């Protein structure tokens, strides 16, 4: 990965940890394939959440374009890879969180105006966390 891309990735990961901390969620950056941040405890976090962070800047069409895939050939992330994907709009310094099951595509595009919502980070975290916990519960009940 080029140094510039590494810097974008580190900035996005740091922002996710910071914004979660502002919501009272204890989170840490980790280095593990497919997992960049782990949310351990805090409001609503009943079990640790593995978070894959995707950072982007918007293009001339005002679209943030996020790569939401891994492997060769590329495939969407699955629950086995992570619980939540954090789509970071770096220029807006905001995050749109999605439960991994919500992003079954290789690329996700989000218009920059969506990151202009004051509560996008809080609102999407609560929704993604709820969906992730429900899917974890469903997996455990099937064992």
> Residue 4 — pLDDT band, cuts 50, 70, 90?
low
Of 19, 29, 142, 130, which is closest to residue 83 (Cα–Cα)?
130
Average pLDDT, the chain: 89
Q: How confident is the model at residue 139 (pLDDT cuts 50, 70, 90)?
A: confident
Q: Which of 27, 41, 131 is nearest to 79 (CA)?
A: 131
Alpha carbon of residue 8 to chain centroid: 14
Rounded to two decimals, what is the model's pTM?
0.91
Partners of 97 in the β-ladder: 86
DSSP E strand stretches across the chain:
25-32, 35-42, 49-56, 63-67, 69-70, 75-76, 84-89, 94-99, 107-111
Mean pLDDT for 114-141 is 92
Highest mean pLDDT: which range of 4-13, 43-52, 134-143: 43-52
Higher pLDDT, 88 or 71: 88
Predicted local distance difference test score (pLDDT) of residue 141: 84
């Amino acid at each position: 990965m080029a140094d510039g891309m590494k810097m974008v990735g580190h900035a996005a990961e740091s922002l996710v940890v910071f914004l979660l901390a502002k919501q009272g969620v204890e989170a840490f950056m980790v280095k593990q394939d497919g997992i960049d941040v782990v949310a351990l405890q805090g409001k609503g976090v009943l079990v640790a959440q593995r978070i894959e962070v995707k950072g982007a800047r918007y293009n001339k069409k005002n679209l943030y374009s996020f790569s939401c895939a891994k492997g060769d050939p590329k495939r969407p992330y699955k629950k086995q890879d992570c619980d939540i994907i954090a789509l970071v709009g770096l220029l807006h310094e905001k995050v749109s969180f999605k439960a991994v099951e919500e992003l079954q595509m290789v690329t996700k595009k989000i218009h920059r105006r969506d990151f202009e919502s004051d509560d996008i980070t809080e609102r999407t975290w609560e929704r993604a966390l709820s969906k992730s916990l429900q899917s974890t519960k469903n997996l455990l009940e099937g064992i």
